[in-house]
Amino acid sequence: MASPSQRPSHRRSLRKRRVLVVSAAAVVAGAGAGFFVMNANASGTDLYHQTLADKDGWASSGSGTTGGAKADAAHTFTVSTRAQLVKALGSASDTTPRIIRVSGTIDANTDDSGKKLTCADYASGTGYSLSAYLKAFDPATYGRSKLPSGTQEKARAAAQTKQAKNVTFKVPANTTIVGVPGTKAGITGGMLQIQGVDNVIVRNLTFSATEDCFPQWDPTDGDDGNWNSEYDSVTLRGATHVWADHNTFTDAPHFDSANPKYFGREYQIHDGALDITKGSDLVTVERNQFTNHDKTMLIGSSDTDSIGKLHVSIHHNVWKGIVQRAPLARIGQVHLYNNLYDTATVNGYALQYSVNSRAKAQVVAEDNYWKIPVGQKVSKLLSGDGTGSVAGSGNLVNGTATDLVAAYNAENSKKIKTTVNWTPTLTAGLETSAKDLPTSLATTTGAGVLD
């Protein structure tokens, strides 16, 4: 979960190797260990064994990112339920290469038999109730100077622990998780936790409705307090060599605009979409769609996250209906190129900013495209704390070359620096003009494109 210092109170032309032709065999149904279907393109590669291309961002450096490409038949799975996914993942400490093919949408809020679980099911037996929690920590009586403690806070934590055990999927090293084309593959209500492991690929999946039943009230967070939730749709914590490609992230069907307010603050049930924290390193995020979300991508969990790590490439993604953190970057070296930002308000998600560079982050942003509505200030596209940098050129706003840093600095006292101490070299697919991105990325990003 985000710390108070970072909260608001304070995704090249599609390469031929990815134009997949589904063979007749690909429609054969099957499940379980050993089932594998080739989904080949003209060059003979397949979706499930595909590895990250050379020089395709930071995740291609060193040993590169191959995921489960070396998996044998016994470690190749097709899963369509939560229980099957858990079994396929196995132990988080098992480094045996594995390929997990997700067929259809997996509901994380189900038990091992597939029965739907609700927030009430998780709360059962803990003694937690929202009404009792609100009564116990009403600022009018509890005050605003200390974190909740006591019977109801313990009960809330116990209920949250029950949900976490069910919805958190721990991903081992050397794993590829891919949505099966044509099945509307995805995970709803769950979190892929990639923690302390190396060499993971996540592709062609829709992540939706990642929701915390039991947000915690923190009266000390900001001037007015905040409700803070757990669970990112995908979270990287001390992970290395991770490739996230052609996924879709959304809060749908429950948007933040439907959240009630308690103690005058939004009862926030969503956390991050794809967060990269706690010394994670060598990550490439490409051709994803991020939509209908507030705190979207955090790079670095705090201003004291790991120096010398947090090397991230973010390219050819679409960000639409995003409030903030696209990304928020701390400390690391981040290459942000050929992304499309559509900043019009969608389903109540109104822009706060797109890119935040802070805690001495070294961001190179080049050849990105911003679509902004009439009346919106260019100065709102960036944010920072006065220590971060944003370098680069070729960024367009509504088709016009624009110096984003100059626009921001003209209206803010904490200036964004314009020089960085590194030069990107892992830039496969970099387009030196952003003008065609609104058209090209509309059909080459997100889950389902690899059908």
122 token code pair: 């998780």
Report the side by side order of strands in the sheet with 186-188.
Answer: 105-107, 186-188, 206-208, 248-250, 289-295, 318-324, 340-342, 369-371, 396-397, 400-401
Peptide bond into 253 cis (omega under 30): yes
207: left (phi over 0), alpha (psi -120 to 50) or beta: beta
340 token code pair: 């499309």
Phi, psi of 60 (to 5 degrees): -90, -5
Measured CA to CA, the distance from residue 283 to residue 388 in angstroms comes to: 20
**What kind and span of H or E run contains 437?**
helix 437-440
Q: Facing residues of 218 across strands?
A: 226
Measured CA to CA, the distance from residue 357 to residue 336 in angstroms comes to: 12
Active site residue 7: no
CB 69 within 8 A of CB 176: yes
Query: On the CB side of 198, how many CA atoms lie within 13 Å of its CA?
Result: 7
Q: Which of 11, 325, 330, 358 is catalytic?
A: 325
| Residues designated as active site | 325
